[in-house]
Amino acid sequence: MAVKEGWTGRVYEDFEVGDIYQHPLGRTILSVDNSWFTLLTQNTNPIHFDHHYAAQTEFGRPLVDSTFTLALVTGQSVIDLSQNVMANLGWDEVRLPNPLFEGDTVYSRSEVLEKRESKSRPNVGIVRVKTTGFKQDGTIVIEFLRTFMVYKRGHVPQTARTSIPEPKR
């Protein structure tokens, strides 16, 4: 039986300006996601975790913490964009045009805007993308620009999965 390598992510040379990646996994937001994230980050605004309080606002229910939305949509993009990233350089122009609520499902996509060689590190290149997160009905809930350094072909550090020998029986 042949061992077939699984998806190992893109390297710098794989990115082309204008490419659009529809990220494969959606995620339904649970009440516990919102509560845990606000607790982990010490966000004390009750609009995220106090249903009674949130019911009195114009939204009528808890809003999903916007930094959770940023983290989730960034995470959804890893499989297509940053599996082989050396470092994130920044998130810019983060916009949250519409609210996100518990029970909504988030999907995302990214477009490659630019790429260039690193001036200081010959083993990586720099890629800039625009990522958009949207709800199940297509309503955009977040948009941002992200810049990252990604390894070039032949320079991705080995993982245990790729560096250990075939198991012996």
Can you give the CATH number for the domain in which 22 is found?
Answer: 3.10.129.10
Give a yes or no: residue 167 inside a domain: no
**Looking at the 3D structure of the chain, how many domains does it have?**
1
Distances (CA, A) of 39 to 5, 36, 168: 39, 5, 45
Mean pLDDT (the chain) is: 93
Percent of the chain whose pLDDT exceeds 70: 95
What is the β-pairing status of strands 85-95 and 105-117? Answer: unpaired
* 161 domain-assigned: no
Q: Residue 168: pLDDT above 80?
A: no
Say whether pLDDT at 45 is over 80. yes
Q: How far apart are CA 88 and CA 69, in angstroms?
A: 17
Measuring CA to CA, how many Å separate 23 from each of 58, 82, 97, 119?
32, 12, 20, 30
Q: Where are the beta strands (DSSP E) in 1-153?
A: 20-22, 27-28, 85-95, 105-117, 124-135, 140-151
pLDDT at position 161 over 80: no
Q: Which domain holds residue 150?
A: 12-154
Question: Is 132 part of a structural domain of the chain?
Answer: yes
Has residue 114 got a pLDDT over 70? yes
For residue 2, is it within any domain?
no
In percent, the amount of the chain with pLDDT more than 90 equals 82
pLDDT of residue 16: 97
In a domain, 46, yes or no: yes
Cβ contact 130:93 at 8 Å: no
Over residues 54-82, the pLDDT tens digits come to 999 999 999 999 999 999 999 999 999 99
Asked whether residue 168 is domain-assigned, the answer is no
Nearest 5°: CA angle at 146, between 21 and 123? Answer: 90
In a domain, 1, yes or no: no
Q: Is residue 119 part of a domain?
A: yes
